[in-house]
């Protein structure tokens, strides 16, 4: 038998180059005659640009150009459009360089190109912009208030869209006869993405062929090619090559089309020289699209048997100053459709108002809408359990969709293809010793030790997405994926995929699957991604789509290779193709193992075509475009345990058990890594990360001195388990795991914190659970000391 790689904890093949500094990131690329860009960014959240005086900057030796918004408009450069449309969407013009007005701190008003980065920075400081300050607004609900400052004239009342899903009347009817109802008001705070590699773009225009190459930190180079080429700059797609080499983390923030990419392309042609820009971390804080930022009122009701009846959700989604690429989709179709979770609701209604504010744009951030939905749903489920005086896990168990009820049509559009929720919960409870820990918790409370146990029995929809479906919902892109499997004459295999790896380990996991399919060693397979000139086409990596969609395309292209190989083998072995089997790394005549051809034999003959079937094309490569039939629906149970220091309000995560069902696992090491990172990120939101804009729209938490990223000592050793429920509709049965940790952990930890604070009468606090907030909640419940 040849070695099987599917399911093996193979060490990541990309790691040696990353940990020895041999990665090739955009900023590592140095081109002959290269120049450097520095951006002049608005220090104000809302202001009119009266004039720009660049004379002092231009006078500095080494400065090559200062570009303004008017230069780009005059050259016919269009604003950056959103990639998803909703009915009656008010689209603000997002210029790469703002010509007239700025609407958030960090908005670009000019770009300096110089011989060195240092000169460019010096010159940027010399560009004199005359601003006329306007009143600003930073919070979604404030933006909707009467008399709030107007961010864009075309969006009266700052409303970008109003959107709803579900049956409002049916919800009202359920509430009318409900046994019990609860309401929660939640703020899902804004997050800054903070990929470890800041964004970077390097444009190289070649006058000879009127061709552009853009090296850029992207999760989806083909999307950039379409947006830049067709919509923004009018460059024919075949004259524009986008390369996203090694990329150091994205979490969604590198999906989007950013202004700097337009600016360096434009400048490169203007100067006929390569132009590079790399963000400083300070720039990342005010220019990378941010995440979350919802204000929500949710209500639910149950009947006398504690069966859930209806859920009503009203959300204000703060979109920031501009609609970035997927901004309209995240708080709508990736949010409202997830409100059903793992439960059997009779009715659901979700209404979302998207608002403009004078803040950085908000878009997909790891989980993208699904963490926001999970937070609402899992918080209100635990709150209802608290009000009913029942165990939050047993309350959920009672309301789960049962395994024999799939496919299950939810009241919010999605049809779940598969699921089996109780085994995951049982496993998690056993791993934690749930009952034992509840007893310890009760005992500890008597001695001033306050621990809390929180649960989230999450479900997510990923593997984006059936193209016709998302097209009908407003997507301006397809969501299929393509693969090209190319076998060389020596039997070495190059797999070109439209998926993009920026930390996911595709070079390993994908190679494992291809090695199995072709029954060849893993080291004979190399995975190529991130270059529009080399790949057929693709839509990139986000929404946990690479395994279910990108890898399905690879698997099906590999099938085509095997089909063709069998035809060649049949010819060489003088057998019928129906009698050829692919076993032990060979194509052999069934039952006659000595009559066989190796993969090498077949590859060589396909290229030589000396002794070859007359009706078969030479060569051995196959392309497959795979469009999924449905989303995939990973689920699981996460249990978080926290301890609160009642003296200071400090919360420490002390245990974390997660049982995820992502279908069959290709590489347990990579899955575990994704869960670790995801849970850490979700914990960051629950306990640490706080994006604070003041009333003037200034980001006051815009550095690592203030913005708390998770660190090792905030985490615990995760206790990880799995159940396996394959997806019925893709060839490998795989689902996604890249976002599950983030989607579930925030809610589980939030529920744990509120559970820990239950003795103090606390029923809700908004995240992040920073020490002062917790201390104040505890203090408010204590009788005031006589001498205070």
Residues that bind another protein (CB under 8 A): 117-118, 121-122, 125, 280-282, 647-648, 650, 688, 690, 692, 700-701, 704-709, 714, 770-772, 775-776, 787
Q: Cβ of residue 122: shortest distance to another protein, in angstroms?
A: 7
Q: What angle do CA 488, 490, 491 make, to 5 degrees?
A: 70
CA gyration radius for the chain?
A: 28
In terms of C-beta density within 10 A (0-12 exposed, 13-18 middle, 19 or more buried), how is residue 55 classed?
Answer: exposed
Residue nearer to another protein on the CB measure, 287 or 701:
701
Q: Cβ of residue 707: shortest distance to another protein, in angstroms?
A: 6
Residue nearer to another protein on the CB measure, 272 or 700:
700
Residue nearer to another protein on the CB measure, 72 or 687:
687
Q: What angle do CA 488, 490, 495 make, to 5 degrees?
A: 35
Residue nearer to another protein on the CB measure, 483 or 778:
778
Give long-range contacts, CB 8 A cutoff, 24+ apart: 405-410.
405/344, 410/337, 410/340, 410/345, 410/348
Among 458, 459, 337, 396, residue whose Cα is nearest residue 747: 458
Q: Cβ of residue 699: shortest distance to another protein, in angstroms?
A: 11
In terms of C-beta density within 10 A (0-12 exposed, 13-18 middle, 19 or more buried), how is residue 365 classed?
Answer: buried
Q: Cβ of residue 752: shortest distance to another protein, in angstroms?
A: 18
Q: Cβ of residue 755: shortest distance to another protein, in angstroms?
A: 22
Residue nearer to another protein on the CB measure, 526 or 770:
770
Q: Cβ of residue 200: shortest distance to another protein, in angstroms?
A: 13
Block residue for tokens 């869960």: 675
CA distances from 38 to 109, 264, 416, 737, 765 (A): 11, 10, 48, 38, 42
With helix as H, strand as E and coil as C, how does 419-460 read? CCHHHHHHHHHHHHCHHHHHHHHHHHHHCCCEEEEEEECCEC
CA distances from 192 to 363, 465, 525, 563, 628 (A): 11, 26, 37, 48, 31
Neighbours of 85 (CB within 10 A): 17
Q: Cβ of residue 121: shortest distance to another protein, in angstroms?
A: 4
Count of helices and strands (H, E) across the chain: 20, 28
Q: Cβ of residue 64: shortest distance to another protein, in angstroms?
A: 17
Residue nearer to another protein on the CB measure, 380 or 642:
642
As given in the structure block, the two tokens for residue 175 are 């509430």
As given in the structure block, the two tokens for residue 542 are 């986000």
Block residue for tokens 């003959």: 605
Residue nearer to another protein on the CB measure, 122 or 758:
122
Residue nearer to another protein on the CB measure, 281 or 590:
281
Residue 274 phi, psi dihedral angles, 5° rounding:
-65, 145
Residue nearer to another protein on the CB measure, 138 or 496:
138
SS3 500: coil
Q: Cβ of residue 711: shortest distance to another protein, in angstroms?
A: 8
Q: Cβ of residue 659: shortest distance to another protein, in angstroms?
A: 29
Q: Cβ of residue 646: shortest distance to another protein, in angstroms?
A: 10
Q: Which residues pair with 659 in a beta bridge?
A: 637, 721
Q: What angle do CA 168, 173, 178 make, to 5 degrees?
A: 120
Distance between CA atoms of residues 194 and 292, nearest Å: 14
Residue nearer to another protein on the CB measure, 83 or 768:
768
């Amino acid at each position: 038998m040849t070695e099987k790689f599917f399911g093996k904890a193979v060490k990541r093949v990309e790691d040696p180059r990353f940990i020895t500094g041999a990665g090739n990131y955009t900023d590592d690329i140095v081109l002959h005659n290269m120049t450097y860009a520095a951006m002049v960014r608005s220090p104000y959240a809302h202001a009119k640009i009266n004039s720009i005086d660049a004379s002092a900057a231009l006078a500095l030796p080494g400065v090559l150009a200062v570009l303004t918004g008017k230069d780009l408009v005059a050259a016919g450069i269009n604003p950056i459009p959103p990639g998803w449309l909703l009915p009656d969407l008010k689209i603000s013009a997002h210029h790469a360089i703002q010509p007239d007005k700025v609407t958030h701190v960090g908005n670009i008003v000019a770009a300096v190109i110089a011989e060195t980065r240092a000169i460019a920075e010096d010159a940027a400081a010399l560009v004199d912009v005359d601003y006329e300050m306007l009143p600003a607004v930073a919070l979604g609900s404030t933006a909707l208030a009467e008399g709030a400052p107007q961010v864009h004239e075309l969006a009266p009342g700052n409303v970008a869209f109003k959107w709803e899903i579900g049956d409002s009347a049916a919800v009202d009817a359920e509430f009318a006869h409900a046994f019990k109802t609860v309401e929660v008001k939640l703020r899902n705070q804004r997050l800054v993405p903070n990929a470890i590699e800041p964004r970077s773009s390097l444009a190289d225009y070649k006058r000879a062929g009127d061709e552009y190459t853009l090296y850029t930190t992207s999760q989806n180079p083909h999307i950039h090619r379409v947006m830049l080429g067709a919509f923004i700059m009018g460059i024919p797609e075949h004259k524009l090559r986008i390369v996203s080499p090694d990329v150091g983390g994205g979490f969604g923030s590198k999906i989007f089309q950013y202004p700097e990419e337009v600016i360096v392309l434009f400048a490169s042609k203007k100067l006929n020289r390569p132009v590079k820009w790399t963000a400083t971390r300070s720039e990342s804080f005010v220019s990378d699209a941010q995440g979350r930022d919802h204000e929500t009122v949710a209500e639910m009701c149950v009947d006398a048997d504690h069966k859930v009846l209806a859920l009503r959700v009203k959300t204000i989604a703060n979109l920031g100053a501009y609609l970035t690429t997927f901004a309209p989709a995240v708080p709508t179709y990736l949010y409202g459709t997830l409100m059903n979770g793992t439960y059997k609701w009779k009715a659901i209604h979700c209404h979302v108002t998207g608002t403009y504010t004078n803040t950085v744009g908000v878009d997909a951030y790891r989980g993208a809408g699904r963490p926001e939905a999970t937070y609402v749903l899992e918080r209100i489920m635990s709150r209802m359990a608290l009000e009913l005086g029942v165990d939050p896990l047993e309350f959920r168990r009672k309301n789960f969709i049962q395994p024999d009820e799939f496919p299950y049509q939810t009241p919010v559009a999605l049809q779940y293809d598969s699921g089996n929720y109780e085994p995951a919960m049982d496993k998690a409870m056993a791993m934690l010793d749930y009952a034992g820990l509840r007893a310890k918790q009760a005992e500890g409370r008597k001695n001033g030790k306050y621990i809390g146990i929180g649960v989230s029995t999450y479900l997510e929809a990923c593997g984006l997405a059936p193209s016709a479906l998302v097209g009908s919902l407003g997507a301006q892109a397809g969501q299929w994926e393509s693969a090209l499997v190319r076998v060389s004459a020596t039997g070495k295999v190059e797999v070109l995929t439209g998926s993009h790896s920026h930390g996911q380990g595709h070079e390993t996991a994908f190679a494992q699957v291809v090695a199995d399919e072709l029954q060849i060693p893993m080291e004979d397979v190399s995975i190529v991604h991130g270059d529009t000139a080399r790949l057929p086409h693709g839509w990139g990596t986000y929404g946990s789509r690479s395994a279910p969609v990108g890898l399905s395309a690879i698997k099906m292209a590999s099938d085509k290779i095997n089909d063709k190989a069998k035809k060649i083998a049949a010819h060489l072995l003088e057998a019928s193709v129906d009698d050829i089997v692919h076993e032990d790394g060979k194509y052999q005549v069934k039952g006659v193992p000595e009559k066989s051809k190796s993969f090498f034999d077949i590859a060589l003959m396909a290229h030589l075509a000396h002794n070859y079937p007359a009706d078969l094309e030479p060569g051995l490569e196959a392309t497959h475009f795979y469009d999924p039939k449905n989303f995939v629906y990973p689920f699981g149970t996460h249990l978080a345990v926290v301890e609160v220091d009642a003296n200071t309000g400090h919360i420490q995560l002390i245990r974390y058990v997660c049982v995820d069902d992502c279908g069959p696992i290709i590489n347990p090491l990579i899955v575990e890594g994704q869960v670790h990172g995801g849970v850490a990120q979700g914990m960051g939101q629950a306990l640490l990360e706080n994006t604070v804009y003041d009333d003037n729209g200034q980001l006051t938490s815009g550095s690592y001195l203030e913005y708390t990223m998770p660190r090792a000592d905030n985490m615990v050793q995760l206790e990880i388990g799995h159940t396996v429920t394959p997806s019925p509709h893709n060839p490998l049965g795989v689902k996604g795991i890249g976002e599950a940790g983030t989607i579930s952990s925030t809610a589980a930890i939030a529920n744990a914190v509120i559970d820990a604070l239950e003795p103090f009468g606390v029923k809700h606090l908004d995240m992040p659970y920073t020490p002062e907030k917790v201390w104040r909640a505890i203090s408010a419940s204590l009788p005031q000391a006589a001498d205070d």
